[in-house]
Structure formats: C-alpha cells, structure tokens
Structure 1
Amino acid sequence: MAKNTHGRTLDLLGEAIVSRRYAVGTPMPAEPQLCEAFGVSRTVVREAVKSLVAKGLIITGPKVGTRVLPDEHWNWFDPDVITWQARAGLTPEFLRDLQDLRRAVEPAAVRLAAERATAEDIEEIEAAYAGMKHAVEFGGDYVSFDLRFHNGLLRSARNRMLAQMSKALHALLRTSFEISTVKKDGPAQSLPMHRAVLDAVIARDPARAEQAIILLIDGARADIDEVLGSRRRLPRLSRPPPRLRAAV
C-alpha cells in the first residue's frame, strides 16, 4: 500500500538519519530547507519531526534546535527504525544485536507455542512449511514462506509482547534466510530441522521444541558469521527475496 505524504516524508528523513547523512549531534536542516527538499508543507515536516522525536532519533527544542541523537537512544523495537536500518545497510553490530535477541526470544516463544498453539496455529505453520518444501522441490520463493513459518511460531506463543518481537526480528530472519538460500543445498538441509520444530510443537513437547529451534538458530548464526568473516556483501532487504531454482 502506498504511503501518504507524511509517511513518505518520515521514511525519507528516517533513512537519512539512520544512514548517517545527518551526523549525530549536529543541527539538521532548518524547516524551510526540509520543505523545499521534500516538496512538502511545513505541517508535514513538523509531523514527521514529531514522529522522529517519539522514536528517539532526534531531539528538538528552542535552545538545542533539532539534532540527531546517538543510536543508543533510538527505539530499536520500532518497525520503522528496523526497516530504515535494513534499507541503509545491515551492519555487523546490528546483526550481532539481532542474533542475540533471537537466541534469547525464539526458544522461549517456541516452548510456549508447544503448550499453547491452537489447531488454527498449527494449520498456518503447516501451510508455511508446505510452501518451503514446494520451493525446495520445484523452485520459487522460499524466504517468504520461511518468514511465515517463524512468525507463525511466535504468534502461537499467544503472548502479545512476543508477537511484537517478530517485527524487530524480521530483518534478521530475512537476512538469515537469504544467506541460507545462496548456500549450496542450504534450504534443503534446513527443511528437516524446521520439520523437527513443527513436529515437537504438534506433540506438545516444549523441551524438544526448544532444542530443535536452538539448532536452527545456531546454524543460521554460523551462516551469518561466515558471510561477515568473508566480507561478502549482505543481502539488500529493499529488494524482493531471491527465488530458488527447481531441484534437478
């Protein structure tokens, strides 16, 4: 869905800040300059600035002007902030933080999913798994179904706060899955591990489900660390996910 003028202006300013086009601590361009640069009214700029203050990216006031805050002040659980960072480029530090978050959150969520998942939840995760399996065997969009699988697990925990975590984890999950797709037989090798997680959830076995997801997470972390160590370029999340070729 296309964003309105406010949403587009907020995205442009947010991406400019996250990509460091506006340096930390230095004054941002004055309101008239931003209006001219983006072709919008003062009202639109002011609303965008208010949103950026709420997200912790900037501070504004009569004595300090409008200045960019250090990134430790940013709201890293805000989906917009995560999206802007993903578009600006996934740094090793950003990925490390997200990997730590995933290792802390997803095993606990899967334990709860094994206790609380409804029949509808299982059906949704099964459908995601079927999409992954089809992509491995016949080609297609593996990454989107992989995301659907893991988001389904988080929702199945039936915890509203954990469900919100999926928005923060989205960038890491997609990066991880895209790295796996470019590894020879990566998706085919991870498919049985996904099945093991799902089977443990269906069996209502929290301990087995937790161990199965930890195997998946640690394997994904090793893949990312390998790419970072080789200095190969990380995926750009502004592009559509890559598609698998059909198995020969």
Structure 2
Amino acid sequence: MIKNIHGRTLELLGEAVVAGRYAIGASIPAEPILGEELGVSRTVVREAIKSLAAKGLIVTGPKVGTRVLPQDKWNWFDPDVITWQSRAGLTPEFLRDLQDLRRVVEPAAVRLAAERASPQDIEEIERAFAGMKEAVENGGDYVTFDLRFHTGLLSAARNRMLAQMSKALNALLRTSFEISTSKPDGPALSLPLHRAVLDAVIAHDPAKAERAVIRLIDGARQDIEDVLGSRRRLPRLSRPPPRLKAN
C-alpha cells in the first residue's frame, strides 16, 4: 500500500514538473504544503522528491531549496520521464531527438545482431514479426509486436548495455510506432521493411541488415514529419496501444 501511495505521489509531482506547473528554476512548495495538497505524509513526499532528483528533474539542497532543473538535465532514458512528457504533450523537438537517437543506435545494434543472433533470438524476432503480420492482415495490436521486434533485435546484439538501453528505449520507441500506425496503410507499408531486416539477420549479413534498418528508421522519420506537418493529435502513452482494424 505504501508503495502504491509513493508511486502515485511520484507520478503526480513528476507530471506537474514535466507539464510546466513549476517553471524551470522555480522552487517547489515545501514538503508540508505538498503533503497537504496531495493528502499524504511528509515521508511519502520526501521519498518522491528523492526519486525526482534521481531522475534529474529537480535539485535539492539547504541553500537552494528544491528547484526544477532545465530539461537538458532530465534523464530522458527514464521511462517515467518519457511517459510524463507524453501525457504533457509530445513536442516536435522531442520526436526529432528520438529519431536522431534511433539513427545512431539501431544500425550498429542490428549489425551486431546479424553477427551474433542465436537460433532462439531469431525465433523470438520471427514470432514478433508474425504478430505484426497478423495485426495488419486481420486486425489487432500491431504496436506491441513492433516493440517486441525491435527489442528482440537489441537483445540479439548480445551486448549487456544495449540490452539495458532497450528497456529505456521502449517508451521512446512506442511514440514513434504509434505515429506510424496512425498513418493510413503505415503498418502494411512498413511490414516488408521489417522483413528485410529480419532476413538479413537470419542470413548473418551485417551490412545488409544495417542498410535495411536505416531504410526502416528513415521511413519512420518521414512518417513523423508528415504527422507533424498535418497537425494531427499525437499519441499519449497513458492510453493502450491502438488496435488495427481487420481489412
């Protein structure tokens, strides 16, 4: 129960910071005031403040009090921070930073996957692809299987740091995948691009796998730019992934 109270308090304060309720450089109210506002004890507030500081959102000290740090200090690999940002509203800058990150990390990871993937790794990625294909053809949850596909590739790279990074990247990648899914025929058009990546990994061809995933990432970048240009509403991670309709 205590954990639930702490988690909810952390969520409320984190969303308030990310949404700009407390301006950059501004002081956050004292623990007794926050406790009264949120209906929790000072101890619960204190633990939530410690967690926000660990995520880089705030700084605390005897002389500075508790103040909100600039966004470039925030831990953008923390899934909570990503979720709070999504709820507050995704920005073009955030989405473009994500695409830059993918362009740097994924091609190198897929090269390693093509060199190191075990039969078990390939079987897991195949299952994820099959789930994507089923969703395109008969309706269903495409985004979750898309995430499994990319997580499987990072896992197949057999690098512990990349495996850890995949946990943080999931929340980031979901935003990209949901935007692609929101485009008419987006999943259907991306399916052969995913197949090309998988086939190159199965063939243990690093150069071909790298080229294939770059085409996939660049397509996602264009999808995002198209959606930003259309001013359509961006997805929010607080909601379940959208389900494709059966054709």
- The TM-score by the shorter chain falls in which range? over 0.9
Q: Which residue of 1 aligns with 2:88?
A: 88
Native 8 Å contact 2:79 2:171 kept in 1: no
Larger CA deviation: 185-194 vs 202-211 = 185-194
Q: Which residue of 1 aligns with 2:135?
A: 135
Q: Which residue of 2 aligns with 1:185?
A: 185
d(CA) in 2 for partners of 1:65 and 1:90?
A: 29
76 and 60 in structure 1: CA distance in 2 versus 1, 3 angstrom threshold: same
Q: Which residue of 1 aligns with 2:30?
A: 30
Q: 3-state SS of the aligned residue for 1:66?
A: strand
Identity of counterpart residues, as a percentage? Answer: 80
Q: CA deviation at 1:116?
A: 1.0
d(CA) in 1 for partners of 2:175 and 2:83?
A: 12
164 and 199 in structure 1: CA distance in 2 versus 1, 3 angstrom threshold: same
Deviation above 4 Å: which 4+ runs of structure 1? none
Root-mean-square deviation (CA, aligned residues, Å) is 1.5
Q: CA deviation at 1:241?
A: 1.2
Q: Which residue of 2 aligns with 1:152?
A: 152
Native 8 Å contact 2:95 2:176 kept in 1: no
Q: Which residue of 2 aligns with 1:121?
A: 121
Segments of structure 1 that go 5 or more residues without pairing to the other structure are none
Count of matched residue pairs: 246
Q: CA deviation at 1:131?
A: 0.4
Q: 3-state SS of the aligned residue for 1:237?
A: coil
Q: 3-state SS of the aligned residue for 1:227?
A: helix
Q: Which residue of 1 aligns with 2:75?
A: 75
Larger CA deviation: 213-222 vs 237-246 = 237-246
Segments of structure 2 that go 5 or more residues without pairing to the other structure are none
Query: TM-score when scaled to structure 2?
Result: 0.95
Q: Which residue of 1 aligns with 2:98?
A: 98
d(CA) in 1 for partners of 2:66 and 2:172?
A: 31
d(CA) in 1 for partners of 2:80 and 2:183?
A: 30
Query: TM-score when scaled to structure 1?
Result: 0.95
